[in-house]
Amino acid sequence: MTHKRFVLTGLTALTLAAAAALTPSQASAVVTASVTTDAQTTKVVAAANAFLGTLTAAQKKTVSYAYNGAAQRAKWSNFPTGIFQRTGLRWGDLSAKQRTALTTLLGTILSADGLKMVQQQMDADEVLKNTDGGRGLVFGSAEYYVAFLGTPSATSPWTLQFGGHHLAINATVVGSNITLAPSLTGGQPVKYTLNGKAVYIVEKEVKDAFAMVGGLTAAQQAKAVISTQNIDLVLGPGQDGKTLQPEGLPGSALSAAQKTQLLALIKDRLGALNAGDLASKLAAIQKNLDKTYFAWYGPITAGSVAYYRVTGPTVVIEFSPQSMGGDPTNHIHSMYRDPTNDYGAAWTK
């Protein structure tokens, strides 16, 4: 396993003390020089530059934002075009060559399952476009946008944003570290048929969530189930910087087998990230599993309309069915956040 870390090379205590007196730009240079990279980040940066190399000068200007640009950083939502206007380069305006290069970039940051999930969500919006158009809303895979905050680099921090209706991938890269926190996923519909093949985007997560709550003892369920009524996202779009007090059943009250179940459920969501960067996230979560809480809102019968949340020191996961569209189990809003490191904040202090 590749260890994700910062390394301060050749800096004595005296040098560190002197660094405190540097200007911000000088201090940034010192930090950048001491950030390590790895093969995964090198691959990601190469793919990012390959994509940028397919763009015109005007397109590069449209896709590029300052790394500390707070307005662009928050430009993500579950809403479709017509309610929420994203900025950056629109998928529908990219050539076939540019789309291929962008897909390759996403595939270096994400796992194979993660890339598949993104593509399935875009396909789902095509299905929605063909069944629920109008009302001033614009659906479809063309309405997904890409933007860069900062310049792709193996040492300096930068973020790739890609998203549209029900999708917001915020991938922050700092040296050998990559995080997807915060990211919004889900979809509408999550169950559909395309080219004769049935698709169910969140099938494994739903199965594992009901197995988790259904496998609890009556006493454990009494703590885990907060309400028989499902709720909406608490830390969704527009909620950056907010925190949640853990509620529900703590990991310390789980058996070894139940802890394994909880980790599997967490991995269902975090597994969208490439394997190397995922390993360090799961290791941190497992280390704090006794302080990680599982909470449930809704009936516990498999297939019911239910919200669940996992809250730990370095992870918050939410799963929220939505009533708009008829079947709430076919319209899902999901969130992943890291209370310590959304947008890689812990790595850029």
Q: Are residues 239 and 300 in the same domain?
A: yes
Q: Are residues 323 and 217 in the same domain?
A: yes
pLDDT in tens, 325-345: 789 999 999 999 999 999 999
Q: Are residues 62 and 187 in the same domain?
A: yes
Q: Are residues 188 and 301 in the same domain?
A: no
Structure tokens at 111: 């796992």
What global pTM score does this model have?
0.89
Which of residues 140, 166, 194 is at a domain's end?
Answer: 194
User: In Å, what is the CA distance from 99 to each residue of 147, 214, 246, 290?
Assistant: 14, 43, 41, 43
170 versus 30: which is more confidently predicted? 170
For 159-171, what is the mean pLDDT?
A: 98
Q: Are residues 285 and 323 in the same domain?
A: yes
Q: Are residues 137 and 151 in the same domain?
A: yes
pLDDT, residue 134, reads 57
DSSP 69-96: -HHHHT---SSPBTT----SEEGGGS-H
Structure tokens at 314: 């370095």
- Which percentage of the chain shows pLDDT scores above 90? 85
Q: Are residues 84 and 169 in the same domain?
A: yes
Lowest mean pLDDT among 75-79, 108-112, 126-130, 218-222: 126-130
pLDDT, residue 26, reads 40
Tell me the residue range of the domain where 86 lies. Answer: 36-194
CA distance 30 to 15: 10
pLDDT in tens, 64-84: 999 999 999 999 999 999 999
Where does the pLDDT of residue 294 fall: very low under 50, low under 70, confident under 90, or very high at 90 and above? Answer: very high
pLDDT, residue 202, reads 97
pLDDT, residue 324, reads 85
Where does the pLDDT of residue 303 fall: very low under 50, low under 70, confident under 90, or very high at 90 and above? Answer: very high
pLDDT, residue 133, reads 60
CA distance 168 to 93: 19
Whether the pLDDT of residue 34 is over 60: the answer is: no
Q: Are residues 96 and 181 in the same domain?
A: yes
- b/e per residue, 227-239, with b = 16+ CB within 10 A? eeebeebebbbee
| Nearest to 45, CA basis, from 154, 150, 145, 121 | 154
For 242-264, what is the mean pLDDT?
A: 97
pLDDT in tens, 91-113: 999 999 999 999 999 999 999 99
343 versus 23: which is more confidently predicted? 343
Q: Are residues 17 and 55 in the same domain?
A: no
pLDDT, residue 325, reads 73
Check: CB of residue 170 under 8 Å from CB of residue 118.
no
Which of residues 194, 219, 246 is at a domain's end?
Answer: 194
Whether the pLDDT of residue 172 is over 50: the answer is: yes
β 197-200/293-297 pair status: unpaired
Query: Chain-wide mean pLDDT for the chain?
Result: 90
Where does the pLDDT of residue 6 fall: very low under 50, low under 70, confident under 90, or very high at 90 and above? Answer: very low
Rg (CA), the chain: 21
Q: Are residues 215 and 105 in the same domain?
A: no
Q: Are residues 45 and 155 in the same domain?
A: yes
For 21-49, what is the mean pLDDT?
A: 69
Which of residues 194, 216, 235 is at a domain's end?
Answer: 194
- b/e per residue, 87-98, with b = 16+ CB within 10 A? ebbbbeebeeeb
Whether the pLDDT of residue 36 is over 60: the answer is: yes
Strand partners for 148? 64, 160
Total tally of structural domains belonging to the chain:
3
Q: Are residues 145 and 225 in the same domain?
A: no
CA distance 94 to 56: 11
